Structure 1
Amino acid sequence: MTQDLLTVKDNSFRSRLSDRLALLREHPLARVGPGLITGVADDDPGGIATYSQAGAQFGLNMLWTMPISFPMMAVVQSTCARIGRVTGQGLAANIKRTFPPVVLLGVVFSLLVANMLNIAADVAAMGEVAELVTGLDRHLMTTLFVFGTLAMQVFIPYHRYVGFLKWLTVSLLAYAAVLFTVRVDWSQVVLRTIWPTVTITSSYSAVVVGVFGTTISPYLFFWQASEEVEDMNSQNSGTALVNNPAGDVQELRRIRWDTWSGMLYSNATAFFIILATAATLNVAGITHIDTAAQAASALRPLAGSLAALVFALGILGVGLIGVPVLAGSAGYAFAEAMGWRFGLERAPRDAGGFYAVIAISVLLALGIQYSPITPMNALFWSAVVNGLLAVPLIIVILMLASNPKVMGRYTIGDASKCIGWATVAVMTIAAITMFLP
């Protein structure tokens, strides 16, 4: 009897070891997906500008925001991913069938406005950085980036396009690389992260609001839920878990790993951006940054041309992820709200409305480049809309994820609920602070 048990355990161990070795032999990015891409899209050029301003203006005393925001963003994003995989539908579709139409319309149109302004700020930053690196006209480069990212979304199937996005996530390593070119007092970094010197002023509060608003953004909620649905369909991994629970433990474990690791990657990068600009710009007395390109340019005399180039190339890499995610999330939300066919795996003729929303979002954002609205104004107003939209949307997400009628037996646990509602409280305070003098 004992020998039989030992044989069973040995076979079980060998089976698990074989599975692990098979995973290691897979494509290096095969086990990651929506969580990683979403995390990197969070550090888009607009986000880089915000983090750079935080480091330049307040130095090491803004580092504390990253470890505080990490569990909040990870829980919200993993909840969105869970909703998508369990129900087989994106956020907008679930809101549509659970809440009154006014809730859906308010969320979708607010998201469209915020995303369009955010895309405008992002492509402007990419054009400026491209001009910095190549010497070519920024408006020409902006136009090339807009039509290039639009063509990839429309004409390349999702299962191929997603591989390109995964490899672009490596661009975030640029911000860790910058730290090797400057002197960093790591004892002070640890101290100020745990115990910052804070003087509450309106400018300090505004930057904190910007950091939290950039880190926990509504467009990421819609994207990740919808990409779980895309992955489910493109890999033929079965129907929604609520209808077919086969493999549910593995799928939910994958979502947790993918999302938490993706958000950690994103959060650590934001930490490095704040630290890099704190150790260079703030120390040199440069405390005002308008754009991510300006941060890259300002690094050149302080950290050397290589650091400036690495910083600039990182902006271009994450911009090529951020713009499609912004436009795609708007397309998913609007198409689901209207009941249209949608999906990046579909051909344009099969999902015309979906791709039209993506195209219009990006082209209107390009038009803003030639309007009186400056990139910084676009970034500011997108932050305002996102700040106002995030709080009610997170409440809606928590209500969906806690509802057995929506999630079946896959509702979120108490720990996720506690962190989720704590996020609501923090984001509410941030939204209120935004309007204080």
Structure 2
Amino acid sequence: MLKRWRTRILLFLAVLGPGFITANVDNDPNGIFTYSQAGAQYGYDLLWTMIPITLALIVVQEMCARMGVVTGKGLSDLIREEFGLRITVIVLLLLVLVNFGNVIGEFSGIAESLQLFHVSKYISVPVCSVLVWLLVVRGDYKNVEKVFLTASVFYIAYIAAGVLSQPAWRTALIATVKLPPRSAWKNGDYLFLVISVIGTTIAPWMQFYLQSSIVEKGVSVRNYPASRLDVIVGSIFTDVVAWFIIVACAATLWVHGLGAIHDASDAAQAMKPLAGPYAFLLFAFGLFNASFFAASVLPLSTAYVVCEGLGVESGVDKRFREAPFFYWLYTVLIAGGAAVVMIPNFPLVKWSIESQALNGILLPIVIILMLLLINRKDLMGRHVNGHWFNIAAWLTAGIVIILSVMLMVQQFMH
């Protein structure tokens, strides 16, 4: 019995990585800002969103992981083979635009977090962009994955910040399982934040990156149960972190009537006199860790997607000369994102909102293509969705699509 459990644990640790990393990197500066705003503006009232978000994330990510294991191909590779080049090019163009906007947001987060420690963005952004580039270009898959896993664990800083903020635990727990009153839905700002909180959790790039990294890791069908557990654990952990971010801001900013914030660094700065220097340091460190982590993964995800879609060599285990297009695209995305952030008075908030609107256009397309692919018996064999899982998957897809459209409309209205 003990030996069997030890074998299972070792197997899980062997495949741990893609699901845990993908879910956690979604807590990037844009996500942290959204969760911070939810807590600062509405206190504990939006904690109820965390349970449905977690379930939806598990459903969508599990399908991607399963397709990667069974087919041995990335998502954009499958889209090109099964739906043709025209649809692939449309998806790739939208994804590159969305991801470039996100990369700008990640470097903006690096600048904001280190400015809290009085480091100029003209120093922090160039230095960090070089480090991000070297991490992938000079590393191999195993070493890069170890760094990403370590960065994922550091998200525990937000859990510690939430505890140090001394929240009303009973109120927070009740709010997590209690739906809001019907009157709350008539508040346009509340609805916008609900949609933003849900919409920031399931991003198109996540599906492509997860499937590509599972393929590169070489997870076999025999080991898939452990890989599925990796996805589930990652999804739960990332949303526990999001829960604590909302709680930390509710217990400090909202309780003291500070209300809306302009970016994630505002939350850290405001927390200093309210929850003490340790909460401030943890929140600020968490923002830097999230920004640096996402600035590494987002360009990498984009390079994977484009190369797979075009059928050219890709992969962190390849050398520069073996996959030149992959590494040049990775380089251009990093250099471009860092350069934009250093432009004086560049409208970063407006750019972020517009990139999220594009995200809302792309996400429904990606989810529908995923569902069509995973239900193909000639592609997936006996690993197609079961009847009840299919109902859950289409229901999740329908809700995500409706919310994405609502978010896009709300963003244009704002």
Counterpart selection for 2:132 from 132, 149, 154: 149
Shift of 1:170: 1.3
- Give deviations 1:164-221, integer Å, cap 9, x for gaps: 1111111111111012222222221122222334243222222122212210001111
Counterpart selection for 2:144 from 161, 164, 179: 161
Shift of 1:364: 1.4
C-alpha distance in structure 2 between counterparts of 1:431 and 1:23, whole Å: 38
Shift of 1:415: 3.1
Structure 1 residues 129, 27: closer, same or farther in 2, change over 3 A? farther
Look up the match of 1:40.
24
Shift of 1:142: 1.4
TM-score, normalization by structure 2: 0.93
Report SS of the residue matched to 1:346.
Answer: coil
Look up the match of 1:7.
none
Counterpart selection for 1:130 from 114, 117, 141: 114
Q: Are 2:41 and 1:57 equivalent residues in the alignment?
A: yes
What amino acid does structure 2 have at the position aligned with 1:293? S
Q: Are 2:190 and 1:217 equivalent residues in the alignment?
A: no
List gaps (5 residues or longer) in structure 1. 1-12, 242-247
C-alpha distance in structure 2 between counterparts of 1:191 and 1:20, whole Å: 35
List gaps (5 residues or longer) in structure 2. none
Shift of 1:21: 2.8
Q: How many equivalent pairs are there?
A: 406
Q: Are 2:185 and 1:202 equivalent residues in the alignment?
A: no
C-alpha distance in structure 2 between counterparts of 1:123 and 1:103, whole Å: 30
Contact 1:155 1:348 in 2 (8 A): no
Shift of 1:38: 0.7
- Give deviations 1:298-322, integer Å, cap 9, x for gaps: 1111111110100111112222321
Look up the match of 2:399.
426
Q: Are 2:315 and 1:315 equivalent residues in the alignment?
A: no
RMSD: 1.8
Shift of 1:31: 4.7
Contact 1:112 1:361 in 2 (8 A): no
Contact 1:153 1:344 in 2 (8 A): yes
Counterpart selection for 1:403 from 368, 371, 376: 376
Shift of 1:143: 1.6
What amino acid does structure 2 have at the position aligned with 1:224? L
Shift of 1:160: 1.2
Counterpart selection for 1:171 from 131, 135, 154: 154
What amino acid does structure 2 have at the position aligned with 1:212? I
Look up the match of 2:94.
110
What amino acid does structure 2 have at the position aligned with 1:231? K
1:223-234 counterparts in 2 under 5 A? Answer: 223-232=209-218
- Give deviations 1:322-365, integer Å, cap 9, x for gaps: 12221111101100111110011111110011111111112111
Report SS of the residue matched to 1:350.
Answer: coil
Shift of 1:28: 9.7
1:36-435 counterparts in 2 under 5 A? Answer: 36-133=20-117, 135-193=118-176, 194-197=178-181, 198-232=184-218, 248=221, 250-371=222-343, 373-434=346-407, 435=409
Structure 1 residues 28, 421: closer, same or farther in 2, change over 3 A? closer
What's the % identity of the aligned pairs?
Answer: 30
C-alpha distance in structure 1 between counterparts of 2:329 and 2:187, whole Å: 40
Report SS of the residue matched to 1:195.
Answer: coil
Contact 2:265 2:284 in 1 (8 A): yes
Shift of 1:399: 0.9
C-alpha distance in structure 2 between counterparts of 1:413 and 1:186, whole Å: 39
What amino acid does structure 1 have at the position aligned with 2:105? A
Report SS of the residue matched to 1:80.
Answer: helix
Structure 1 residues 416, 144: closer, same or farther in 2, change over 3 A? farther
Shift of 1:22: 4.8
Shift of 1:27: 11
- Give deviations 1:56-102, integer Å, cap 9, x for gaps: 11111111111111111111111111111111110000000111322
Look up the match of 1:20.
5
Shift of 1:30: 4.1
- Give deviations 1:238-290, integer Å, cap 9, x for gaps: xxx6xxxxxx3x42211210001100001111111111111111111122222
Q: Relative to structure 2, which stretch is displaced further, 285-294 or 335-344?
A: 285-294
What amino acid does structure 2 have at the position aligned with 1:304? G
What amino acid does structure 1 have at the position aligned with 2:194? V
C-alpha distance in structure 2 between counterparts of 1:199 and 1:302, whole Å: 30
Report SS of the residue matched to 1:61.
Answer: coil
Larger radius of gyration: 1
C-alpha distance in structure 2 between counterparts of 1:334 and 1:370, whole Å: 26
C-alpha distance in structure 1 between counterparts of 2:330 and 2:195, whole Å: 28
Shift of 1:152: 0.7
Report SS of the residue matched to 1:54.
Answer: helix
What amino acid does structure 1 have at the position aligned with 2:93? F
C-alpha distance in structure 1 between counterparts of 2:73 and 2:249, whole Å: 41
What amino acid does structure 2 have at the position aligned with 1:429? I
